[in-house]
Every structure is written in structure tokens, then in C-alpha cells.
Amino acid sequence: MRAEETPAAPAATPEPTPPGGRPALRAVGPGEHDEAAPGAPSRAVKPQPVPPGAELEHPSLYFNRELGLLDFNWRVLHQARDERTPLLERVRFLAITSGNLDEFFQKRVGGLKRQLIAGVQTLSLDGRTPGEQLALVAEAAAEMYAALATAWDHELRPRLRAEADVAVSDWAELDAEQRAGLTRYFRDNIYPVLTPLAVDPGHPFPFISNLSLSLAVLMRHAARNTMHFARLKVPTTQGRWVPVPNSPHKHHFVPVEQVVQANVGALFPGMEVVAASAFRVTRNADVDRDDDEAEDLLALISEELRERRFAPVVRLEVERGMPDEVRELLIRELELEPSDVYEAADMLDHAECMPLAELDLPQFRYEPWEPVVPEPLQHEGETEDEANVFSILRRGDVLVHHPYESFNASVQRLVEEAADDPHVLAIKMTLYRTGVKSPVVQALLRAAERGKQVAVLVEVTARFDEANNIVGAQMMEDVGVHVTYGLVGLKTHSKVTLVVRLEEGRPRTYCHVGTGNYHAKTTRAYTDFGLLTANSEIGRDLVNFFHFLTGYAPDQQYDRLVVAPRDMRRVFEERIDREIRVQESGGTGRIIAKLNALDDFGMIRALYRASQAGVSIDLIVRGHSRLRPGLPGYSDNIRVVSILGRFLEHDRIYYFENGGDPELFLGSADWRGRNLNERVETMVPVLDPALRERMVEVLQLALRDNRLAWDLDSEGQYVQRRPAPGEDEINYQELLMRDAVARSRAAGGRPWELSV
């Protein structure tokens, strides 16, 4: 691989290592354990050694959450630098890395800064103050900026030009004819929409919106020899990339800010432009919300959105070469510290590379994937009633695994058929993130218009989707849908649907409980499980659950459904304790969990106890883990693996062997404090033995992967698995795609035609 590594930091005088640590990242070949991968941080903060006899609460037993989130982003960035990944997909992973970093600063750094300002002295689980964590985050983020620049400027941009004939040029690289054409473009299309804002005693420093791209223009008055400053917002509504005219390349672009910089003098006649430097601000999204005092949750969220727009700045990104006096002015006016400034070696905001990844060049992408119709949903009955989804579910539960199996032909089909079926009395759903134009939302609107009782809980506090969710909720209210806007003090993260149908003179329930959102786009990109069932106990539980969500029923009872924050922690801890008893009585205790993140102190402590008892534990954790695996005497029997590939691993599955009578749950909750304590979550047991067996096979395949998997060790280092010489490559996601196709073909699969 052609790569230019981030220079290693100078050697430092050894000092006592702070507790916890930021896991390092390596990608190695078989038997190689000493060569850092492209995109890896040059050094890592090692966790402190565990002192003899340390209690399970000791901070040395835990990794830091904030640094763990950044480490996940290192693994995403590695996908952009891995030559085995198709070229445009590498560009996509680069853009995702940059977008993740934006969100990290808005949410996590914003939250730490708010704690620091408030004088919070509470230590993190790994024993750090907010100030200490901010210092470590700043150092780690600076390394990531350097790696992003290296990946783009020295790897991907040259590859795009050489292999895909996609040239991304700087203004200085263009010839005179191309510059003249772009200057005409500037005059006709950009100049009319620009609004320069002067800063002087008569013009206060302007408000700068979150994540917007700006130019800081430093000018000299030619006659008076005085210096002046103006801010110019770069218009990106027509895209970040301007096509270059008269180019020999199939695709040729230049960043719009460089077109503006080259022609900025036209905006200031009579002034000499000394510098026009790009910069970008990030504002805190972790604003304070007083749920206890809220009387109107919708009004509260609307106010939060307004406050977020004007929230304090937590990061300033600047172009390399910005004059010192301009940088100092921005720091002063934005009320920042020098440590809040990040200098970009190339372009600002690599998330804007996403349109390049969408270019129509299929040979540089993953092979297209079309989800298959789940085998049970392919069957046709002799009559129309026997062919509908309700008759299929009466014959048995259906397990669907997206995006390998079609969301449209399963979950969406259930909602659409329910909307059109004259026997359906009611449809109830929780919606966490979904688009206004979603087919699911359209089906709910249609059902309400046809007189069915439709009740939807729309979680308006879903971070960064609040505005979309409010619009969608109000649209549903307009046609008679009963909309609940979540519960004050609790975020509703559950993924459940309940359909009530009149059959033989009495209501019968049909349900979906899933791990992912009812969002058409993410169902093709995120891996999620869902259970479709006509089980009467689960149906009765969901009836009670929706009564809890929409009415006053805090003491609601459930037979099969596991609900947080009420019962979920207790249920999981009881299952872990049961595996300990099995192990201690001479049996084999076994736990496998697949989740997005693991940071809850209580669950980690329970897993440590289980490991100490000899229980074998495998954790498939896509994101961050605060648990340190492989610690002698604490987590010898715990293994942690992270899987990253073309699809985002999003499902939550929990397996407990139970002495040979296994229990398996799926649902919306990770083992995180926020899921178990602060959210309404649902898990459901998978009761059908054949479906349980299929899910166990999926878990075992994930544990065997040697292409997408990263092993986490006790020192916080992620090592990517590679096949040994002569060993077959096991790509978990590709094998699941092949398996889905094989099962569909064996059942005579056909594309499912959705109703219009």
C-alpha cells in the first residue's frame, strides 16, 4: 500500500500512566504484531497496571469512554486506507470518519466542556476529571486530523486521478483557461449570493452557524494603510465541488472555497486582500434540558433546537497558513482557548467527500446488493387470505435479518398490509428515526385516513433528527394519527410495532420487535434483526407497553417483553448470575453478546464476576468498550471483538447457554448506562428453537471472521485479524449475503412487489 504515515511523536520522559487508556489500533498480518497500520495513532495512552487485590470498582479495570469513541473512528478511518476496500468506498469511509468526528465534538466534547464550566469534579469510570479527558481528546483528535489529511492528500486523491480519472485539483494546479472559466462561473453563480460581513466598531463580530464553512478575509486599505477584517460565508447549497471546465478528465473538480478565495478581491474594491483563510466552527449540541420542569415536551425540544443553534463554540478548524492575527481574533471573538483550534493540512471537512463517493463509477464500488425476500414470506396460499402476512405469521414466527433480507418485503409489508386490510382495527408503533417520505409513515397516514386507530410514539429527542421527527409527527397528527412525543425524562428507543386485527369475532395481535429504526435508508446499510410474531403473550405485552407509553401505567406487567428502565438490568444480571451458578456447579457457563457499545459499570462488573467464576464470554462490540478483556484474575475468560465492514453492525443480541437450554434475546438496548437507566428499551426472547439456532450460527460466524474483525486486548490495542497462510478468508458480511441468497433460491425466491 502506498501510504505516508503520520510522523511519530517525539519520545517523552516516562511518567506514571493515568488510569484507563485510549486503545491503539493496528492492522497486522499473521504473526505480525509490531507494525502500525495506516491511519493508526502514533502512540497510545496505556492503561495503568491493575494493583494486587484491586476491587471491581478500581479505575484501572476500565477504558475511557471518550477515547474509546475516537478509537472506533480510527477503525473506520482504517477502512479508508485499506487497499482491499474498493476505491470509492474508501472515499466514503473517509467522509464517514470526518462526520463522526463532527458529531463527537458536538456531543461528547460539548458535554465535557459543559461539565468543566460547571465545576463538575466527579471522575469518569476510569478515574479522570473532565479537564483531563479534554486534554487527552485534544491530543488524540490532532492525530486524527493529520491522518485524515494524509489519507486524502497522499492516498485517495492521487488514486482517484490515476485509477478512476477523477481529478480533484487545487486552484494553483489549474491552467489559465480553466481559471478563466471558473472566474466566469464565480461571477455568474457565486458572486450574487455572497454576503461579506465587516468587523469594526460599527459592525460587531457576526454569528457563525454550526459546521458552516467561512473565509476570514484580512484586508489593507490602500489609501489609509489600515488593516480590516471581514467574514465571508462560503455558499455550499450548490455543492462543495465545482466542475472544472475544459478538462481532459472524466470528472474534474475544485473546492468552491478556492474559487471564492481566488476571486475574493472582487468583493472589496479599493482594498488589498492580504489573506482569505478558510475556517469552520463546531457548536455544542449537548445543551442543558430541564425535563423535570417541562410541561410541553414538543415546545421544550423546539427551544433546545434554537438554543443549540446559538450554543457555545467547542471547536475551531482553520486552514494552514492562516495569519496569526486572524487566528487570535477568531479565538478571542469565539471565546475559545488555543487548544480548541485544529489546523487542517489540506481541506476542511472531509465529510464533503461523500458526493465524490457517489459518482457513477460502479467498478470502484462494492458489488450492488439487493436484499432477498425472507423464505417464509415467499409462500403463496390458495386464497387471498392465506397469502397475506397475517396468515403466514399464524403459521409461525419469522426472523428477518437486514440488510441481507428485505425490510420492504417483511416489516414494511406488515405495516402496509395492515393499513389496507379491512379487518385491522389498530396499528401502534414507536418511531425513533424515520423520514417524512418513509413508506412506513405513508402507510400509517393511509391507515388513519381509512378510519383505523393509529397511535405512534415519535421520539422527538432523537439527537440531530429532532426537526425531521417534529415535522413528521405534525403531519401524522393532521390526518388523525394519535401522536405521543415521548416521555419526559426518558428517551424512547424501542423498535416495536403492534397490529390488532379482528378475526373470528375477537381481536388478535401481530407484532414486530426489532433492533433497528423504521427507516428505509438505514435498513439497507445497517445490520439489524427483527422478530415478526403472532405470539399471544408478546402481543398482550405490547398492548400493555403501548398503554404505558401513551397513558398512565407505570406498574405495567409483562410476561415475555423485557422493558428498560423497569426490568432490563435485573433480567440481564439474573441471567449472568445463572451462568455463574451453572459454572460453579460443574457445568459450562457461556455468554455471547453482540452490541454497539459497552460502557455500563454494573454490567461490566457482572461480566467480571462471571469471568472470575470461569464463565466463557464473547462480546462482539462494534463501537467502544470500557471493559478491559484478558486481565488476569478479572477478565481472563472474556474476549472482545469489533467488526467493521460495508454494513454498519447495529443489531443487539444476547445469548445465555443456561445449562443446555439456551435463552436468546434481541432488541433495542446496548449494555450502556443510557440504555438501561435513561431510555425506554425493549427486548424480546426468541422462542422458536430453529430461529434461535439460526441466530447462534450468525454469532458463531461473527466470532470466526478473519477479514472484518478486530481483537481488543487488555492493554487497549485493537489488532485486525488476517487469514494465516493457506487459511480461507472468512468475511462475515459476505458470507451472510451468500447465505441469504442461497436460502432464498432454495425456497424459490422472487422479488417482492410492494403495493403502491
Which stretch of DSSP H or E encloses residue 199?
A: strand 197-199
First to last CA, the chain: 49
* 58 catalytic residue (yes or no): no
| 165-297+310-336 under CATH 3.30.2130.10, yes or no | no
Give the Cα separation of 179 and 173 in Å (integer).
10
The total of other beta-carbon atoms located within 10 Å of residue 10's CB is: 5
pLDDT in tens, 521-538: 889 999 999 999 999 999
Predicted pLDDT at 551: 84
The total of other beta-carbon atoms located within 10 Å of residue 118's CB is: 10
Which CATH architecture best describes the domain 564-746?
Answer: 2-Layer Sandwich (3.30)
* Cβ neighbours of residue 671 closer than 8 Å, sequence gap 6 or more: 572, 593, 595, 597, 598, 599, 600, 603, 604
**Between 395 and 295, whose confidence is greater?**
395
pLDDT in tens, 64-100: 999 999 999 999 999 999 999 999 999 999 999 999 9
What does 113-157 look like in DSSP terms, one character per residue? HHHHHHT--PPPTTS--HHHHHHHHHHHHHHHHHHHHHIIIIIIH
Say if residue 403 is preceded by a cis peptide, omega within 30 of 0.
Answer: yes
Are 355 and 154 spatial neighbours (Cβ–Cβ below 8 Å)?
A: no
Q: Which of 18-22, 55-59, 109-113, 550-554 has the lowest mean pLDDT?
A: 18-22
Confidence of residue 384 (pLDDT cuts 50, 70, 90): low
- Comparing CA positions, the residue from 404, 450, 402 lying closest to residue 424 is 450
Give the Cα separation of 525 and 311 in Å (integer).
32
Helix axes 65-81, 87-104, angle to 10 degrees: 160
Helical segments of 63-129, H only: 65-81, 87-104, 110-118
The total of other beta-carbon atoms located within 10 Å of residue 471's CB is: 12
Number of alpha carbons in the 13 Å side-chain half-sphere of residue 571? 25
Are 160 and 167 spatial neighbours (Cβ–Cβ below 8 Å)?
A: yes
Confidence of residue 381 (pLDDT cuts 50, 70, 90): low
CA angle 647, 402, 39 (to 5 degrees): 10
* Cβ neighbours of residue 43 closer than 8 Å, sequence gap 6 or more: 8, 9, 24
- Tell me what the pLDDT averaged over the chain comes to: 88
Burial zone of 176 (CB within 10 Å; 0-12 exposed, 13-18 middle, 19+ buried): exposed
pLDDT in tens, 261-293: 999 999 999 899 999 999 999 999 875 544 444
Using a pLDDT cut of 70, give the percent of the chain over it. Answer: 86
pTM score > 0.75 for this model? yes
- Name the one residue in this structure whose C-alpha cell is 491522518: 147
Enumerate the CATH 3.30.1840.10 domain ranges in the chain, comma separated: 165-297+310-336
Q: Which residues pair with 592 in a beta bridge?
A: 618, 655
> Among residues 252, 401, 493, 624, which one is catalytic?
493
Confidence of residue 383 (pLDDT cuts 50, 70, 90): low
Type of residue at 611: S
pLDDT above 80 (res 732): yes
**CA dist list (Å): 312 to 43, 209, 283, 307:** 31, 11, 6, 9
Are 14 and 47 spatial neighbours (Cβ–Cβ below 8 Å)?
A: no
Say if residue 47 is preceded by a cis peptide, omega within 30 of 0.
Answer: no
Pick the CATH number of 25-153 from 3.40.50.300, 3.90.850.10, 1.20.58.310, 1.10.1060.10: 1.20.58.310
pLDDT above 60 (res 218): yes
> Looking at residue 405, what DSSP letter applies?
B
Enumerate the CATH 3.30.870.10 domain ranges in the chain, comma separated: 375-559, 564-746
Burial zone of 568 (CB within 10 Å; 0-12 exposed, 13-18 middle, 19+ buried): buried
pLDDT above 50 (res 41): no
pLDDT in tens, 239-267: 999 999 999 999 999 999 999 999 999 99
Here the cell at position 515 is 433492533
Are 46 and 17 spatial neighbours (Cβ–Cβ below 8 Å)?
A: yes
Pair type for strands 424-431 and 398-402: unpaired
Torsion angle defined by CA atoms of residues 90, 92, 95 and 101, in that order, rounded to the nearest 10 degrees = -80
Please, what CATH class does the domain formed by 375-559 belong to? alpha beta
Predicted pLDDT at 37: 46
pLDDT in tens, 643-664: 999 999 999 999 999 999 999 9
pLDDT above 70 (res 726): yes
pLDDT above 90 (res 597): yes
Give the Cα separation of 601 and 606 in Å (integer).
9
Here the cell at position 718 is 485493537
